[in-house]
Structure 1
Amino acid sequence: MRKVVMSFVMAGMLVMGAGAAHAAESATLQDVVSELYGVPYKASGTSKKGFDCSGFTRYVFDALGVDLPHNSAAQYELGTAVAKKDLQPGDLVFFNTNGRSISHVGIYIGNGTFVHSETGRGVVNTKLNDPYYWSKRYVGAKRISIPALEAAAPKKENAVQAASLPENQAQK
């Protein structure tokens, strides 16, 4: 189920609100993120004028219809833990940069790379296994459920149940 959900994260939906009305447009995680590269870092930032790390992840997930808290430690409390070897695009990756607790978050985008808003650099791609900084501070990853995408996922027929039905009923 997780693989199906995450494949739809990549296919994604960009949900834009206008008052009480909402319109959905088809967009991928890559589409949402790609327009944010180069946005500067801004402490407590939550918009295209500037992001901090959790403001960036919150903004991206909001575009996919998920409301995240604006705090990396609070985001770490959500979702399902994912082993580093099982990371999929869209998973949140967490780091301890202050020596005490979860203090940084980014979004895994595949090929050992994550995107995040970094102090002094803004929104950039970084290798997860960077030997000088990030790999030493990696804490873990979480996969967040995206209900709007799960609801849009096509229902799979259970092949075992269909195969066990008498021939005349399986055709119905």
Structure 2
Amino acid sequence: MWRHALLTVYLVIFLYGCSSTSTQDNGISNNLILQSSSPITQALLRQHQVWRGTPYRLGGNSKNGIDCSGFTQVTFTERFHTQLRRTTKDQVTQGKPVSKSMLQPGDLVFFKTGGKKVRHVGIYLEDGVFLHASTSRGVTLSRLDNPYWRQHYWTARRIPISRW
């Protein structure tokens, strides 16, 4: 309980003290984020704080540049001690399929963003928000109801989380 309260205070200071606006990446409300009670969402928000703005680099897996599947792999290792395969193509075969209406914090969300082989992956938080490494914004938060992401949504997978 004490840890949760301390985390909430830290998030308030970070989100309001370091920002001149009342919204987070892509217009996501800080209030939406601060109200989360899910420990998985809180772990993902901490990951976002560490990686926010890290540039996108195809094949990258470090703070110098990271791609979408590299970011999901690193996040699951660092936050949940759970191994994911390296590529989006392989990650989409892990875990169990889950419908969009049944998404839970930590689910992988997949998008078809171009031709048959162009795919993208992120990690669902809650309330339609997901965390990912964007080609244009680097590591960021986005909304599933954004017209671009809504149009390109493909599928989701639930990965068993070892521990956190």
Aligned pairs for 1:1-150 within 5 A: 9-10=40-41, 28-63=43-78, 64-101=80-117, 103-131=119-147, 133-148=148-163
Cα distance in 1 between the residues matched to 2:93 and 2:161: 16
Q: Secondary structure of 1:69's partner?
A: coil
Q: TM-score, normalised by structure 1?
A: 0.68
Structure 1 runs (4+) deviating above 4 angstroms are none
- How far the C-alpha of 1:36 sits from its partner, in A, is 0.9
Aligned residues: 126
- How far the C-alpha of 1:83 sits from its partner, in A, is 1.1
Q: Secondary structure of 2:131's partner?
A: strand
Runs of at least 5 residues in structure 2 that lack an aligned partner in the other structure: 1-37
Q: Which has the higher strand share?
A: 1
Cα distance in 1 between the residues matched to 2:128 and 2:97: 17
Rg comparison, structure with higher value: 1
Q: Give the superposed CA RMSD.
A: 1.7
- How far the C-alpha of 1:127 sits from its partner, in A, is 1.0
Runs of at least 5 residues in structure 1 that lack an aligned partner in the other structure: 1-6, 12-27, 150-172
Q: Secondary structure of 1:35's partner?
A: helix
Whether the 8 Å CA contact 1:73–1:102 is kept in 2: the answer is no
- How far the C-alpha of 1:67 sits from its partner, in A, is 1.4
Whether the 8 Å CA contact 1:94–1:102 is kept in 2: the answer is no
Q: Secondary structure of 2:151's partner?
A: helix
Are residues 53 and 135 of structure 1, via their aligned partners in 2, closer, same or farther at CA, if it must alter by over 3 Å? same
Whether the 8 Å CA contact 2:41–2:126 is kept in 1: the answer is no
